[in-house]
Amino acid sequence: MSQSPSQSENLAVDIRDLWFSYNGMPVLQNVNLSILTGQKVCMVGPNGGGKTTLVKLILGLLHPTRGQVQVLGGHPTVERKRIGYAPQHAAFDPKFPVSVTDVVLMGRIGQASVLGPYRRGDRLAAGKALEAVGMADLARRAFSDLSGGQKQRVLIARALASGPELLLLDEPTANLDIGVEADFHQLLEQLSEKLTLVMVSHDVGFVSQLVDKVVCVHGSVAVHPTAELTGELMRDLYGHDVMLVRHDHNCQDHSGDPEPYRE
Amino acid sequence: MSDFLRTLQSELAGAPPVLLCILGVGLLTSIACGVVGTYVVTRRITYLAGGIAHCVLGGMGAAIYCRKALDWSIIDPIWGVQWITPLSGAVVAALLAAAIIGVVSLRFKQREDTVISALWASGMAIGVLFISATPGYQQDLMGYLFGDILIVSPVKLIPIAILDAVVIVVSLLLYKQFVAICFDEEFARTRGVRVELHYLTLLGLTALTVVLLVSVVGIVMVIALLTIPVAIAGQFARRMWQMMVLAVLLSIALTTTGLAVSYGPNLPSGAIIIVLAAGLYLAVLLINMLLARARRRNITPTSPREAEGPSTRTS
């Protein structure tokens, strides 16, 4: 990524000297992270390392104990309506009575009129978002009848329905069938052409060819070039705290892929 | 049952509409019950609803005490309405309980159930004390606890209708937000929905619905009528509004049948309604279970033999 002169305006996410503790337990320490507009970034790290916490700080759902978070040039609670957020699908009541369209329409709630039902414009936007993730033919199905991968796509459509500038995906690849992974990879690649994409994953092998930057979250931050993204380093990274690994697009065939693609 | 039909016939022919009023109350409350019950069940706050219901007794007791023992009927001439009644006391107590429980559940998530349990019992204790301090009202206690829809009169129909209208209009106007919050509160927050405000509104609507239902089945059985029709509807509905419509229809059917059954032999109508509801729920669960088992049995014996054929089952 080239450094533009007006860099601060081009920052989709700008985190400075951030500390966060939960019930007195430090979760994140001295985190500095900047993501440029249009960049594709993946956060990796062990469970409990603070990935989801970092996502929630970016969304303004949590507030830093110290330091500051700027998103799309402003405070997260103000600017988060310009963020499309897709949480992990496993977190939902599996029997909740909603259709696929109902779920995607929830993404329109900020733009829709406050009282009364969704309008035609909302339905059109929801339909387009479903098309973008290749789920338009399942629009009338019950959300509870879908497979894990389909649910994940619907949640991404819900995130897209508001026309976001930044797409924030929490574990989009969790519980995916192996056959679906390639499709999913393609979908994320298409989406990220127009958007800044930040996703959380524990599967570095899946994302390393897709993203510009890999952020390893385990308490704090350090920067590493992608050439060092080897299995050995990954072990090292997980032992260390938070690290940043830069990826230069030319290393698809480098031999040290940390987690070889599953067969 | 035949007594019920005969009375109904004579009232339709022009006799004073006592039974019709009772059925009207059942019908009105069923609508609020199905709509709000669906939110309560999907948002999983039935325990909160139970707490609110039991606090209602405190308000009813206080109202009776103020009216009879302290003779606070002086403000009645305003608009010619009786202001201090068990119903108005119930509304105040329910809304107050909803506000306290709502704030507790938002602020002190970890101790939520403890605080609700404490409120649940204290609300009842306060009600019992007030009623015992008011001479000549002990027998009313049974009516409040277990429901006595048969004492409903045309005058009482008006406040019930107003409450019902408020609950239904607000529930439907904020349908989008409530569904979004019940499904995924965090996402709703990122879309700019004021989650706390809507949550407290939902609890307020729950409180008013509880008051409506108290006149049908009584304090103790409110949660059953709020949740069982919705639970049955949940076995069939695929979308939130379908669940609401189905729950309303079931609730109307159950209250009407319950009244018809209890009318002749003079059985407690609230208890009959709940027993009918629970029986129907059990029957639906059993039938669904048997159907699922039959479906599985149809698949298993044939599948090994047809293993080489093209599989029709894709999941």
- Residue B272 tokens read as 């009959």
If phi > 0 it is left, if psi is from -120 to 50 it is alpha, else beta; for residue B81 that is beta
Q: With a cut of 90, say whether residue A7 has pLDDT above it.
A: no
The whole-model pTM stands at: 0.83
For residue B233, the model assigns a pLDDT of 96
Burial B217-236, CB ≥16 within 10 A → b, else e: bbbbbbbbbbbbbbbbbbee
Alpha-helical regions (H) of chain A: 51-58, 76-79, 100-105, 120-132, 148-160, 178-191, 204-207, 231-239
CB atoms under 10 Å from CB of A151, counted, come to 22
CA distances from B55 to A162, B105, B107, B115, B150 (A): 42, 16, 20, 13, 23
Under the banding of pLDDT at 50, 70 and 90, the label for residue A95 is confident
Interface of A with B (CB under 8 A): 59-61, 80-81, 83, 85, 87, 91-93, 95-99, 102-103, 105-107, 109-110, 112, 115-118, 142, 147, 158, 162
| Cβ atoms of B213 and B34 closer than 8 Å | no
Residue-wise pLDDT tens digits, B195-204: 999 999 999 9
Contacts of B182 in chain A (CB under 8 A): 96
Residue among A85, A95, A112 whose CB faces B234 most closely: A95
Instruction: For each of the domains in chain B, give its residue range(s) and CATH number, in order of start.
Output: 2-299 (1.10.3470.10)
Paired residues of B66 in beta bridges: none
For residue A253, the model assigns a pLDDT of 36
- Residue B55 tokens read as 């606090």
3-class SS of residue A193: coil
Instruction: Give me the interface pTM, i.e. the ipTM.
Output: 0.81
Residue-wise pLDDT tens digits, B97-127: 999 999 988 888 777 888 899 999 999 999 9
Q: Where are the extended beta strands (E) located within chain A?
A: 11-22, 25-36, 40-44, 66-71, 83-86, 166-170, 196-200, 213-216, 223-225, 243-246
Give the CATH architecture of domain A9-246: 3-Layer(aba) Sandwich (3.40)
Residue-wise pLDDT tens digits, B135-194: 877 777 888 888 777 666 677 788 889 999 999 999 999 999 999 999 999 999 999 899
Cα–Cα distance, A168 to B300 (Å, whole number): 43
Tell whether B187 lies on the interface with A, counting CB pairs under 8 A: yes
Under the banding of pLDDT at 50, 70 and 90, the label for residue B12 is confident
For residue A141, the model assigns a pLDDT of 92
If phi > 0 it is left, if psi is from -120 to 50 it is alpha, else beta; for residue A60 that is left
| Cβ atoms of B63 and B85 closer than 8 Å | yes
Best mutation target, A58, A98, A113, A167, to test chain B (most B CBs within 10 A): A98
**Which long-range contacts link B198-201 to residues 24+ away (Cβ below 8 Å)?**
B198/B174, B199/B102, B199/B106, B200/B98, B200/B99, B200/B102, B200/B103, B201/B170, B201/B174
For residue A229, the model assigns a pLDDT of 56
Contact check, Cβ <8 Å, B234/A97 = yes
Cα–Cα distance, B160 to A214 (Å, whole number): 61
For residue A105, the model assigns a pLDDT of 95
Quick one: how far is CA A10 from the chain centroid? 19
| Cβ atoms of A155 and A133 closer than 8 Å | no
Under the banding of pLDDT at 50, 70 and 90, the label for residue B247 is very high
CA distance B36 to chain A (A): 15
CB within 8 Å of B155: residues ≥ 6 apart: none
3-class SS of residue B217: helix
- The closest alpha carbon to B207, from B58, B25, B84, B62, belongs to B58
Q: With a cut of 50, say whether residue B315 has pLDDT above it.
A: no
CA dihedral B12, B14, B20, B24 (to 10 degrees): 90
Paired residues of A20 in beta bridges: A28
| Cβ atoms of A7 and A13 closer than 8 Å | no
